[in-house]
A and B are shown apart, each in its own frame.
Chain A
Amino acid sequence: MLKDDKRLSMLEEFLKEHQYQKGALLEILHKAHELYGYFDETLLTFISEHLNFPPSHVYGVASFYNFFKLKKVGEHVVTACMGTACYVRGVEEIISAIEREFNLERGESTSDGKLSLFVTRCIGACATAPNIVVDEEVIGKATKEVVLRKIELVLGGEKTETS
């Protein structure tokens, strides 16, 4: 069961606004994602029940699109841009450095849930490649050193505990 809170009532309101129409699935998923930050089974089941879809259909659509996250996201998020320009200018090296330093893999979070690392297809700031987004801030013309220091800063100067 979903927790009965403000988010749930907003989602219900939104469903009503769209008259529970099947065609509005993508918009409803967007809204739910915006409210909850990611999809878990209860949330997707909730949506499928309200739109009268089999859960597999809703999961199928949700998992098709890269923008939707199916796992809880860490407290801090690092997103590396993997656009062509960033790749050509060596973003891969920076990503590997983050993976090594914080002991996590792209697409995953650290075991304490403090940090997540995602790779995205182009944030469209190719002129300043390579780009790394730490929380909301875009670091253009990024280097390994600058990014690692920045991540440690947002983590409060402490390195994540790794199991």
Chain B
Amino acid sequence: MKLAETELDLQRAYKHRINVCCSSGCVHFGALKVLKAFEDAIKESDVQKECKVARTGCLGTCSVGPAVVVEPGDYIYQSVTPEKAREIVRDHVVLGLPLKHLLYSNEVFFKKQRRLVLRNAGKIDPLRIEDYIANGGYSALVKCLTKMSPQEVIDEVSVSGLRGRGGAGFQTGQKWNFVARAHGSPKYIVANLDEGDPGVFANRTLAEADPHAIIEGMLLAAHAIGADRGYIYIRAEYPLAVQTLRKALEQATSLNLVGENILETTFKFDVELRLGAGAFVAGEETAILASIEGLRAMPRPRPPYPATSGLWRKPTLIQNVETLANIPLIVLNGGEWFSRIGSPKCTGTKCFSLTGDINNPGLIEIPMGITLREVVFEIGGGVRNNRAFKAVLVGGPSGGCLPETLLDLQIDYESLTRAGAIMGSGGIVVIDDKSCMVDTAKFFIDFCVEESCGKCSPCRAGLLKVKRVFEGIIRGKGRTEDLLILEKSSVYIREASLCGLGQTAPNPVLTTLRYFRDEYASHIVDKICPAGKCFKNKKEASKT
């Protein structure tokens, strides 16, 4: 593509490029002021012709924001202030002397990561489609429209072994085959960016850093399954991501990459943004459809599956945005290449928001199959303030709390499910010994009670029952039979609920009962909360 060449030439003309991370996290720390300071300093030093300043997406090192990268050499500066920005321009850009004391020294954070989905995050300016194209963007679309039949695209995706990143881990190629073969038209694509899990921000970061990767993924999927309309369903609580995507869609439309006669072929595909309105259950695949249709986001029983009867009863492909962002790479490099990354049954990488009581919180992307220990203690740098590790919560509010003995567990769908957790949408929260596991489990149950849509009674009434039992235990009024009630109710809720919310909501209860049973026992029998969170001693317990 000609545009890529011109843009590359333009970029080569600069000796340095300064990338300032302007995603939500860094903006909170004042990244926009830093960006301005860089621009001013470059003008003052009169090096505009040699040095380009770009606003980019997330690097992942959210704990030391605002983060700035100076190219060439990928020097990462941490916690940059407007004053430091001027120093960096003076010493690094003008004199060529990197400021060693300001550099991000934490190499282990990146060592075990592999950035595929986040390939462009922190490297390109998400508000400029030219940047994306110069980095190989939309070349997969060109390849697919000129050289590949729809079935060939599906076959590559099947060979890649890519599984849905939204949580359930369904084979993407298989799903595409279902939709492609389904009768009915038009066909729709829904890109799921309703990241409602507290503590998870991977999808938002992707949209803020590389919106075109999502759009290109949708276009490739549309070509493969024969869809001509797509929706990106995104949380209204993510204003920056919404703006970025909106802008990206405008640019793609003006370059004739979205709309009618794309790249002068007969292929047409329109994309529309739809704002969610804060409902956790809307991430469920049938609930998201109801929400796009303007209704309460309530799931409905399957079958019929959305692949045959989705939006307005038409065949619909629902895919998490992280899954979609993988597609351009698979089309370009082949499914075979992708299948060699990660572990054999679980190929590719996964983005995780790594948070909680940990030294290096941030956004990471790891190959499937590495262990939780590597994530927590190597990439994450271990537990904060030298405290003791207690548990790691994997998979959001309906994930599982896993103890230290399970840290050598490999991260893939099956291993996590076997241990009682889920991949979920990719949240890892580390919990130290200050937290009480009974209280933590109750926190998640409270969340799920709030977010239950109320359609089916196991979830609506069952979770409330579980919540009541917890309230007794944390006030020191627990009875020994409570453990059995918790266990039984949890299993009922899991087995009988209509959708993923109810089916996974009891996970935190079941895993804490399984791995931290002694803490429940202390609350109920000894009337002691070992972490001192619920009540300090027997006396206090009897008072409440």
Decide if B492 is an interface residue (CB 8 Å cutoff).
no
Chain B residue with the shortest CB-CB distance to A121: B198
Cβ–Cβ < 8 Å partners of B444 in chain A: 84
| A65-B277 contact in complex given A121-B447, A125-B25, A140-B28, C-beta closer than 8 Å | yes
- Inter-chain contact A127/B237, CB cutoff 8 Å: no
- Inter-chain contact B277/A85, CB cutoff 8 Å: no
| A25-B294 contact in complex given A84-B393, A122-B198, A122-B199, C-beta closer than 8 Å | yes
- Inter-chain contact A84/B294, CB cutoff 8 Å: no
Cβ–Cβ < 8 Å partners of A29 in chain B: 277
Which residues in chain A, 106-130, are within 8 Å of chain B measured between CB atoms?
Answer: 120-129
- Nearest-neighbour CB distance to chain B for A13, whole angstroms, equals 19
- Inter-chain contact B198/A64, CB cutoff 8 Å: no
- Inter-chain contact A124/B201, CB cutoff 8 Å: yes
| A125-B28 contact in complex given A22-B294, A64-B279, A66-B279, C-beta closer than 8 Å | yes
Which residues in chain B, 403-434, are within 8 Å of chain A measured between CB atoms?
Answer: 427, 429, 431
| Residue from A22, A61, A120, A123 within 8 A of B296 (CB atoms) | A61
- Nearest-neighbour CB distance to chain B for A67, whole angstroms, equals 4
- Inter-chain contact A88/B238, CB cutoff 8 Å: no
Which residues in chain B, 332-362, are within 8 Å of chain A measured between CB atoms?
Answer: 353, 355-357, 361-362
Decide if A20 is an interface residue (CB 8 Å cutoff).
no
| A121-B361 contact in complex given A85-B429, A127-B62, C-beta closer than 8 Å | no
Decide if A154 is an interface residue (CB 8 Å cutoff).
no
> Residues 58-77 of chain A: 1 if any B CB is under 8 Å from the residue's CB, otherwise 0?
00110011111000000000
Q: How many A residues touch the partner, as a band?
A: 35 or more
Decide if B470 is an interface residue (CB 8 Å cutoff).
no
Cβ–Cβ < 8 Å partners of A23 in chain B: 293-294
- Nearest-neighbour CB distance to chain B for A85, whole angstroms, equals 4
Decide if B96 is an interface residue (CB 8 Å cutoff).
no
| A89-B357 contact in complex given A66-B278, A68-B277, C-beta closer than 8 Å | yes
- Nearest-neighbour CB distance to chain A for B414, whole angstroms, equals 24
Q: How many residues of B contact A (CB 8 A)?
A: 50
Cβ–Cβ < 8 Å partners of B24 in chain A: 123-125
Please measure, in the bound complex, the distance between the C-alpha atom of A122 and the C-alpha atom of B197, giving whole angstroms: 8
Decide if A30 is an interface residue (CB 8 Å cutoff).
yes
Please measure, in the bound complex, the distance between the C-alpha atom of A160 and the C-alpha atom of B83, giving whole angstroms: 38
Chain B residue with the shortest CB-CB distance to A22: B294
Please measure, in the bound complex, the distance between the C-alpha atom of A6 and the C-alpha atom of B431, giving whole angstroms: 51
| A67-B277 contact in complex given A61-B296, A88-B429, A125-B25, C-beta closer than 8 Å | yes
Cβ–Cβ < 8 Å partners of A88 in chain B: 356-357, 429, 431, 435, 440
- Nearest-neighbour CB distance to chain B for A87, whole angstroms, equals 6
- Inter-chain contact B196/A121, CB cutoff 8 Å: yes
- Nearest-neighbour CB distance to chain A for B297, whole angstroms, equals 7
Chain A residue with the shortest CB-CB distance to B293: A23
Chain B residue with the shortest CB-CB distance to A87: B443
Decide if A138 is an interface residue (CB 8 Å cutoff).
yes
Please measure, in the bound complex, the distance between the C-alpha atom of A29 and the C-alpha atom of B447, giving whole angstroms: 25
- Nearest-neighbour CB distance to chain A for B376, whole angstroms, equals 14
- Inter-chain contact A30/B275, CB cutoff 8 Å: yes
Please measure, in the bound complex, the distance between the C-alpha atom of A122 and the C-alpha atom of B353, giving whole angstroms: 12
Decide if A151 is an interface residue (CB 8 Å cutoff).
no
Please measure, in the bound complex, the distance between the C-alpha atom of A89 and the C-alpha atom of B201, giving whole angstroms: 17
Cβ–Cβ < 8 Å partners of B196 in chain A: 121
Cβ–Cβ < 8 Å partners of B435 in chain A: 88
Please measure, in the bound complex, the distance between the C-alpha atom of A122 and the C-alpha atom of B292, giving whole angstroms: 22
> Residues 23-44 of chain B: 1 if any A CB is under 8 Å from the residue's CB, otherwise 0?
0110011000000000000000
- Inter-chain contact A129/B355, CB cutoff 8 Å: yes
Decide if A82 is an interface residue (CB 8 Å cutoff).
yes
> Residues 87-108 of chain A: 1 if any B CB is under 8 Å from the residue's CB, otherwise 0?
1110000000000000000000
> Residues 151-167 of chain B: 1 if any A CB is under 8 Å from the residue's CB, otherwise 0?
00000000000000000
| Residue from A61, A66, A85, A131 within 8 A of B295 (CB atoms) | A61
Chain A residue with the shortest CB-CB distance to B240: A124
Cβ–Cβ < 8 Å partners of A87 in chain B: 198, 443
- Inter-chain contact B277/A66, CB cutoff 8 Å: yes
Please measure, in the bound complex, the distance between the C-alpha atom of A138 and the C-alpha atom of B32, giving whole angstroms: 14
Which residues in chain B, 438-469, are within 8 Å of chain A measured between CB atoms?
Answer: 440, 443-444, 447, 453
Decide if A146 is an interface residue (CB 8 Å cutoff).
no
From B237, B355, B431, name the one whose CB has the most chain A CB atoms within 10 angstroms: B355
Decide if B200 is an interface residue (CB 8 Å cutoff).
yes
From B25, B277, B453, name the one whose CB has the most chain A CB atoms within 10 angstroms: B277
Decide if B174 is an interface residue (CB 8 Å cutoff).
no
From A24, A84, A125, name the one whose CB has the most chain B CB atoms within 10 angstroms: A84
Decide if A10 is an interface residue (CB 8 Å cutoff).
no
From A30, A60, A67, A124, name the one whose CB has the most chain B CB atoms within 10 angstroms: A124
- Inter-chain contact B29/A60, CB cutoff 8 Å: no
| A83-B294 contact in complex given A66-B279, A128-B29, C-beta closer than 8 Å | no
Decide if A27 is an interface residue (CB 8 Å cutoff).
yes
Decide if A148 is an interface residue (CB 8 Å cutoff).
no
Please measure, in the bound complex, the distance between the C-alpha atom of A67 and the C-alpha atom of B275, giving whole angstroms: 11
Cβ–Cβ < 8 Å partners of A24 in chain B: 294
| A85-B199 contact in complex given A67-B278, A127-B361, A128-B29, C-beta closer than 8 Å | yes
Decide if B397 is an interface residue (CB 8 Å cutoff).
yes
Cβ–Cβ < 8 Å partners of A25 in chain B: 294-295
- Inter-chain contact B429/A84, CB cutoff 8 Å: yes
What are the 8 closest A-B residue pairs judged by CB atoms, nearest first?
A127-B62, A65-B277, A84-B199, A83-B198, A66-B278, A124-B201, A67-B278, A25-B294
A-B contacts, 27 of them at CB < 8 A, read A23-B293, A25-B294, A25-B295, A26-B294, A30-B236, A60-B296, A61-B295, A64-B279, A64-B297, A65-B297, A67-B236, A68-B278, A84-B396, A86-B198, A88-B429, A88-B435, A89-B356, A121-B198, A122-B201, A123-B24, A124-B25, A125-B24, A125-B28, A126-B199, A127-B362, A131-B28, A140-B29
New A-B contacts (20) at CB < 8 Å, excluding given A26-B274, A26-B294, A127-B63:
A23-B293, A24-B294, A25-B295, A26-B275, A27-B275, A67-B277, A67-B278, A82-B198, A85-B199, A120-B278, A122-B199, A125-B25, A125-B28, A126-B200, A127-B62, A127-B355, A127-B361, A128-B62, A129-B361, A140-B28
